[in-house]
């Protein structure tokens, strides 16, 4: 059997795929297809087959038909942005469906109003199949034949019939393949239909399943074999290989605050010192019935609970958003879905099925014996409890109400529990289990809550109400401190609090050197939720808005309206403070599934930053229009990433001017360039003759100047931006800017280091854009120095022979 009739999935207007107002679908980038504009809110299977995937947002479904063809049906355009609102999945991955079976129910009016369009592309996602449409351009009823799909391989099992292609690559990511890298691998395969497996240590796993990948227990420097089968196997395997070779995107995610314990078993999860009273948090499992109340009912209940938990995931900070993304991937994991579906099909309740699925995945991870992966067991336990709580009608797993100065002790703590705690009252956390790279430790570090992990079972016996000293900087817990120890710890705590309070009290005043040279201190931001904290910490504006966070981890690019809304909220939250919006910095090591970019051997040297924007002017124009119409001209600055020379600046300037003219904006909008390449640093004088400002991205400038990949743990010890080679390049930037009367600043990681501040000022930088938390201490550091001393220090630093020598000189002078 190789020809399958396709039936209309709902009543509506049936047309060619070319009619879909979206270049990705209309241009057949995802495959050939057709479209139906629905007039009813129930999507049915166009043919018999198996459900491959339904995203947590339930706005689309992928089916594998009985002739092996894979069909993607995407309800409306850009509907992923609705986050599942208005959609209910009626089936889960792995379900067998007959032609005409209902798959997704959706609220036609609500979705129609909120989405860009309701027109629904139906796309054949794998190669080797020919689609013949039956008279497109007419109204159809649900179930009416709209075409035929003939397969090259009769009786094929989908992609398995195509080409097979393998590659063997070493894993460079510092922590191997843990949850976030696994989720990134799975996400990178979204544009491909091939079946892809990863094999290591004699085991093999479905590369689209985060859970299965975790079960492999791959550590840093292990080699993995990536094998793809199917028409686009080569592209899929190359995409995964490129991602792994680029370090699996872990450089940006690593928390600098997390470091191992100097001694003993306990480990620092988040630094800091705390004195407080113990509260023990004991986990209780909610009871779920073993038997289900009917397969269809339980299936639907589970799908709804999964969607509800996924929709509730999120968080203000970038760290919380990343973790939410990894959890979302676990909720949509095909292996977990398969395991739960098997239990439900055997008559079990949704809660029992979900618990069985998550626990057996956790057991598989435990069996790897890898201490780092063990921490992912906590993520699975978290999702087990959240979904079960939802099934039982609770909003979220319970956390205790805590008194001020609480030190919370638990066997382990779940990210959702941490987020639900009253953090103003939480002095510190100690967990018997867990590890320093567990998600909850990353959250604690970014919230400034000291945390000790892997402290051992004994901590669970510390009586509630007892006053203890948690010295996470030294990875120590004093469970029974004497009067002397308490007095000494109180004094240290008071000193550091005083210093922080002093810095904070002075943080909103402008910063200037001791002899009056004004230095602007800005904050680097990625989301509107970060603005109030940054302003309270004394940020005078935003020196770098990383707009790419809006473009990553999603199925389609954000449209102009969505971008406008985000930029407008950030600009409004900043009041009239300057906002420097960096244009899209994706490509290379930050792949996005909806941009069909070729895999690159050296992504850091490939099509990224401004190069990608100039190669895809459609994206750039949309972004520029959104920025200009959202951010008032008096506040708005545009900044270009990864610039090499004037030609790129000129091309971008022409597009900016064109967008301004089209929007009728007469006021000039400053256009700056990031200095991230040695070429741009050496040509800083030329760039400054046409750019309105220069801002040094020390993260990239350091990796390119020192030829040390910022995502490669093997060379991370070399990556110190205080290297004299980098400082000499920054000196060129200061000189070039001064020659043309422009300002120059730094927005890379070096700007957050108070030790570097006088050197950067001495090199001619008059603006520093740091992480919000670093602003008060940075302003305090600036005020301690006179400009002439900064210049002398900078010259000594440039004459040094190594970064360590520069650090020694700066600390000594301090
Ligand atoms: C940099 O490279 O220093 C920079 C600020 O850009 P990003 O870290 O986003 O690449
Ligand atoms: Mg950069």
Active site residue 747: yes
* Closest to 243 measured CA to CA, from 182, 323, 195, 179: 182
What CATH fold (topology level) applies to the domain 506-595+602-813? Answer: TIM Barrel (3.20.20)
Structure token pair of residue 799: 């004459």
* Tens digit of each residue's pLDDT (9 = 90 or more) over 649-700: 999 999 999 999 999 999 999 999 999 999 999 999 999 999 999 999 998 9
* Tens digit of each residue's pLDDT (9 = 90 or more) over 70-98: 888 989 987 877 878 899 999 887 788 99
The pLDDT of residue 53 is 77
Is the pLDDT at 398 greater than 70? The verdict is no
CA 635 to chain centre: 27
Is the pLDDT at 258 greater than 50? The verdict is no
Neighbouring residues of 122: CB distance < 8 A, sequence distance ≥ 6: 6, 9, 33, 34, 35, 36, 46, 71, 72, 73
The CATH code for residues 159-245 is 3.30.1340.10
Closest C-alpha residue for ligand 1 atom 4: 697
Is the pLDDT at 508 greater than 60? The verdict is yes
In DSSP terms, which residues pair with 6 in a beta bridge? Answer: 147
747 lines ligand 1 (CB under 6 A): yes
The Cα angle at residue 536 between residues 534 and 542, in degrees rounded to 5: 30
Is the pLDDT at 218 greater than 70? The verdict is yes
Q: What's the burial of 405, exposed, middle or buried (CB within 10 Å: 0-12/13-18/19+)?
A: middle
Q: How far apart are CA 807 and CA 190, in angstroms?
A: 45
Q: How far apart are CA 601 and CA 595, in angstroms?
A: 17
Closest C-alpha residue for ligand 1 atom 6: 697
* Tens digit of each residue's pLDDT (9 = 90 or more) over 732-761: 999 999 999 999 999 998 998 888 999 999
- With a pLDDT cut of 70, the percent of the chain lying above it is 90
Report the separation in Å between the CA atom of 719 and the middle of ligand 2, taken as the mean of its atom positions.
14
CB 231 within 8 Å of CB 203: no
Structure token pair of residue 744: 């120059």
Query: For residue 700, which atom of ligand 1 is closest to its CA?
Result: 2
Give the helix ranges, DSSP H, for 706-786.
Answer: 724-739, 757-762, 775-783
Query: In b/e form, how buried is each residue of 670-697, taking b as 16+ CB within 10 angstroms?
Result: bbbbbbbbbebbbbbeebbeebbbbbbb
CB 166 within 8 Å of CB 197: no
Across residues 767-773, what is the average pLDDT?
A: 91
Q: How distant, in Å, are the alpha carbons of 327, 650, 730 from that of 685?
A: 47, 15, 12
* Tens digit of each residue's pLDDT (9 = 90 or more) over 119-170: 999 988 777 788 999 999 889 999 999 999 987 543 333 334 456 788 888 8
In DSSP terms, which residues pair with 426 in a beta bridge? Answer: 406
702 lines ligand 1 (CB under 6 A): no
676 lines ligand 1 (CB under 6 A): yes
CA 330 to chain centre: 14
Residue 539: pLDDT band (50, 70, 90) is: very high
Active site residue 439: yes
Per-domain boundaries in the chain: 3-153, 159-245, 257-284+293-340+396-505, 506-595+602-813
Q: How far apart are CA 698 and CA 751, in angstroms?
A: 8
**Which overall architecture, per CATH, does domain 3-153 show?**
Distorted Sandwich (2.70)
Backbone angles phi and psi of 407, in degrees to 5: -105, 110
Q: How far apart are CA 195 and CA 179, in angstroms?
A: 21
Q: How far apart are CA 440 and CA 449, in angstroms?
A: 11
The pLDDT of residue 580 is 98
Report the separation in Å between the CA atom of 701 and the middle of ligand 2, taken as the mean of its atom positions.
8
The Cα angle at residue 561 between residues 560 and 562, in degrees rounded to 5: 95
Where are the strands (E) in 90-234, listed by range?
96-97, 102-106, 120-124, 129-133, 138-140, 145-151, 164-170, 195-200, 203-206, 223-229
Q: How distant, in Å, are the alpha carbons of 165, 210, 436, 470 from that of 216?
A: 20, 10, 21, 35
Is the pLDDT at 176 greater than 90? The verdict is no
Q: Which residue has the tokens 């229009």?
A: 625
204 lines ligand 1 (CB under 6 A): no
Residue 292: pLDDT band (50, 70, 90) is: very high
Of 117-126, 519-528, 609-618, 691-700, the one with minimum mean pLDDT is 117-126
Across residues 524-544, what is the average pLDDT?
A: 93
699 lines ligand 1 (CB under 6 A): yes
Report the separation in Å between the CA atom of 220 and the middle of ligand 1, taken as the mean of its atom positions.
24
The pLDDT of residue 254 is 32
Is the pLDDT at 106 greater than 70? The verdict is yes
Question: SS3 sequence, 581-620?
Answer: EECCCCECCECCCCCCCCCCCCHHHCCCCHHHHHHCHHHH
Determine how β-strand 203-206 pairs with β-strand 195-200.
antiparallel
> What is the number of other CB atoms lying within 10 angstroms of the CB of residue 482?
9
User: What pTM, to 2 d.p., does this model score?
Assistant: 0.52
* Tens digit of each residue's pLDDT (9 = 90 or more) over 301-357: 999 999 988 888 765 566 677 777 778 888 989 889 999 999 999 999 999 999 999
Report the separation in Å between the CA atom of 743 and the middle of ligand 2, taken as the mean of its atom positions.
19
Q: How distant, in Å, are the alpha carbons of 626, 628, 650, 666 from that of 621?
A: 9, 11, 15, 18
Query: For residue 641, which atom of ligand 1 is closest to its CA?
Result: 6
Give the helix ranges, DSSP H, for 314-438.
Answer: 318-331, 334-345, 350-367, 371-391, 415-420
User: Ligand 1, from 249, 525, 548, 585: best to mutate by most atoms within 8 Å of Cβ?
Assistant: 585
Q: How far apart are CA 633 and CA 664, in angstroms?
A: 11
The CATH code for residues 257-284+293-340+396-505 is 3.50.30.10
147 lines ligand 1 (CB under 6 A): no
Q: How far apart are CA 765 and CA 745, in angstroms?
A: 5
Catalytically annotated residue among 352, 439, 637, 723:
439
């Amino acid at each position: 059997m190789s020809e399958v009739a396709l039936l209309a999935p709902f009543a509506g207007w049936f047309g060619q795929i070319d009619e879909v107002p979206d270049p990705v679908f209309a241009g057949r980038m995802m495959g050939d297809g057709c479209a139906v504009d629905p007039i009813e809110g129930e999507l049915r299977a166009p043919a018999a087959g198996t459900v491959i995937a339904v995203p947590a947002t339930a706005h689309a479904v992928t089916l594998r038909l009985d002739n092996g063809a894979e069909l993607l049906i995407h309800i409306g355009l850009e509907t992923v942005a609705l986050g599942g609102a208005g959609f209910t999945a009626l089936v889960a991955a792995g379900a067998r469906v007959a032609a005409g079976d209902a798959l997704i129910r959706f609220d036609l009016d609500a979705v129609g109003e909120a989405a860009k369009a309701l027109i629904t592309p139906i796309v054949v996602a794998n190669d080797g199949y020919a689609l013949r449409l039956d008279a497109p351009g007419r109204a159809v009823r649900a179930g009416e034949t709209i075409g035929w799909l003939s397969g090259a391989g009769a009786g094929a099992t989908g992609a398995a019939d195509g080409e097979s292609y393998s590659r063997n690559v070493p894993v460079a990511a510092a922590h191997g393949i843990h949850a976030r890298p696994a989720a990134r691998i799975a996400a990178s395969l979204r544009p491909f239909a091939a079946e892809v497996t990863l094999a290591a240590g004699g085991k093999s796993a479905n590369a689209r399943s985060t859970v299965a990948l975790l079960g492999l227990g791959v550590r840093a420097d292990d080699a993995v074999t990536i094998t793809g089968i199917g028409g686009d196997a080569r592209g899929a395997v190359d995409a995964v290989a490129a991602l792994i070779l680029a370090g699996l995107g872990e450089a940006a995610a690593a928390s600098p605050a997390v470091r191992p314990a100097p001694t003993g078993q306990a480990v620092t999860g988040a630094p800091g010192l705390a004195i407080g009273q113990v509260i023990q948090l004991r986990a209780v499992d909610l009871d779920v019935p073993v038997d289900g109340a009917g397969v269809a009912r339980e299936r639907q209940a589970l799908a709804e609970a999964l969607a509800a938990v996924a929709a509730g995931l999120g968080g203000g900070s970038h760290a919380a958003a990343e973790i939410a993304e990894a959890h979302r991937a676990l909720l949509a994991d095909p292996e977990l879905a398969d395991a739960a579906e098997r239990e439900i099909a055997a008559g079990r309740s949704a809660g029992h099925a979900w618990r069985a699925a998550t626990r057996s995945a956790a057991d598989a991870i435990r069996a790897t014996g890898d201490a780092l992966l063990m921490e992912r067991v906590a993520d699975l336990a978290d999702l087990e409890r959240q979904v079960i709580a939802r099934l039982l009608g609770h909003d979220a797993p319970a956390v205790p109400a805590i008194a001020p100065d609480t030190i919370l002790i638990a066997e382990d703590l779940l990210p959702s529990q941490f987020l639900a705690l009253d953090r103003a009252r939480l002095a510190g956390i100690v967990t018997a289990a867990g590890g320093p790279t567990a998600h909850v430790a990353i959250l604690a570090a970014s919230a400034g809550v000291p945390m000790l992990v892997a402290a051992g079972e004994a901590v669970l016996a510390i009586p509630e109400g007892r006053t203890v000293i948690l010295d996470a900087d030294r990875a120590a817990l004093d469970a029974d401190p004497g009067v002397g120890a308490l007095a000494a710890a109180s004094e240290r705590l008071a000193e550091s609090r005083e210093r922080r309070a002093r810095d904070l009290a002075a943080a909103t005043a402008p910063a200037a050197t001791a002899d009056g040279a004004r230095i602007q201190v800005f904050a680097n931001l990625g989301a509107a939720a970060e603005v109030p904290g940054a302003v309270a910490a004394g940020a005078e504006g935003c020196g770098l808005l990383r707009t790419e966070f809006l473009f990553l981890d999603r199925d389609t690019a954000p449209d102009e309206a969505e971008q406008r809304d985000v930029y407008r909220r950030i600009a409004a939250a900043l009041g009239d403070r300057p906002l420097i919006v960096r244009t899209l910095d994706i490509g290379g090591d930050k792949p996005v599934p909806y941009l069909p970019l070729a895999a690159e051997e050296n992504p850091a040297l490939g099509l990224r930053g401004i190069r990608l924007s100039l190669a895809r002017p459609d994206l750039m124009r949309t972004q520029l229009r959104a920025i200009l119409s959202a951010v008032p001209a008096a506040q708005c600055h545009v900044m270009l990433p990864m610039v090499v020379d004037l030609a790129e600046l000129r091309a971008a300037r022409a597009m900016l001017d064109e967008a301004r003219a089209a929007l009728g904006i007469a006021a000039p909008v400053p256009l700056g360039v990031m200095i991230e390449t040695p070429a741009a640093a050496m040509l800083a004088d030329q760039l400054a003759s046409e750019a309105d400002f220069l801002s040094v991205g020390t993260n990239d400038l350091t990796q390119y100047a020192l030829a040390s990949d910022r995502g490669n743990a093997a060379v991370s010890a070399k990556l110190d931006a205080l290297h004299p080679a980098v400082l000499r390049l920054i000196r060129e930037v200061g000189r070039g800017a001064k020659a043309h009367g422009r300002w120059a600043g730094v927005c890379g990681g070096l700007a957050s280091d108070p030790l570097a501040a006088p050197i950067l000022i001495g090199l001619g930088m008059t603006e520093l854009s740091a992480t919000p938390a670093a602003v008060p201490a940075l302003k305090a550091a600036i005020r301690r120095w006179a400009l002439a001393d900064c210049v002398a220090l900078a010259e000594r630093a440039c004459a040094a022979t190594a970064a360590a020598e520069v650090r020694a000189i700066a600390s000594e002078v301090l």
